[in-house]
Copies of this chain bind each other. A is one copy, B any other.
Amino acid sequence: MDRFTALQVFRHVAELNGFAEAGRRLGLSPAAISKNIAELEAHVGARLINRTTRRMALTEEGKIYLEHVVRGLDALSEAEQALSPLRTGPSGTLRVSAPMTVTLTRLSAAIPRFLTRYPDIVLDLHLDDRRVDLVREGFDLAIRGSDSLEDSSLIARKLTVMRHVLCAAPSYFEAHGRPRVPSDLRSHDCVRFSLSGHADVWEFKKGGRTERVPVNARYSVTSSLAVRDALREGFGLSLMPKPYVEDDLREGRLQCALEDWGTVETTLYAIYPSRQHLAPKIQAFLAFLAEEFGRP
């Protein structure tokens, strides 16, 4: 027996005061109605409706039962209504995990725009360079660099590719000279971003050839922003994701070298648990990310 439909049948019969009428309303044959009621009575172990072919009335048990059943069914239908706002419009709490640096350099300035556009969304943004466990910690979405290989069953959506550039302050180049080929770096002061997957060896490509240069660094640090600060001070040179130093390059605080060599690329992904039944709030944030990282 499908208890859910049996209960609905019972309710309709009771409220419409008739088997046939209930059948019409529910799109079932009178036979089905009869069967459902009979089975429900067998399940409950009590007669719920006294009936002849022409007349029907709830028994005392039926009245008591109906009362509870109505409450129960209403609560359940309410359950689905409660979800409908979350399904139709982007709303609710959105828990996002993102690496510190990416966020500060490419995202956080735009967040207010996102929140203004979707007034019913509450954003809980955790800046954390750890590779968090999405489901364990209850995140709706995380932003990750490409180092972290594809996880398990999670969905990864590519946001952007960040080219890297070798750069330093003009003062540094004046003092130490400007490298012409990758191997020149052996005699330079490098600043090392220790969380990178390519922290110890830098690769440069040109016309099919690949040069690998061991990094000669006296300063290792776990934040690209700290690296950038060191570069600005003229302390050394480093391989930086280009977007992080865009402003510095434009305004002359930093300069590039070996620009005709290709270097590492970091791909940014948005990671989320499933593609099915994607909540509007998550869809909205994904669209926002795509738009944001789609800019030049």
Contacts and interface: CB of A to CB of B under 8 A. Distances in A.
Contacts of A273: 47, 50-52
A28 interface: no
A46 B86 contact: yes
B277 A45 contact: yes
Interface in A38-53: 41-42, 44-47, 50-53
A209 to B, nearest CB: 42
Nearest to A42: B277
Interface residues of A, number: 56
Interface stretch (A2-10, A187-195, A221-229, A259-267): A2-10
Contact of A82 (B50, B68, B83): B68
A92 interface: yes
Nearest to A138: B57
A69 interface: yes
A71 interface: yes
A55 interface: yes
A60 B92 contact: yes
Contact of A46 (B2, B45, B50, B83): B83
A86 B61 CA distance: 7
Nearest to A91: B60
Nearest to A64: B82
Contact of A3 (B4, B83, B133, B135): B4
Given A2-B2, A41-B276, A69 B61 contact: no
Given A60-B92, A68-B78, A153-B52, A44 B4 contact: no
A60 B2 contact: no
A196 interface: no
A60 B82 CA distance: 11
A114 B136 CA distance: 64
Contact of A135 (B52, B61, B65, B73): B52
Interface in A261-296: 273-274, 276-279
Contacts of A83: 44-46, 61, 64-65
Nearest to A86: B61
A152 interface: yes
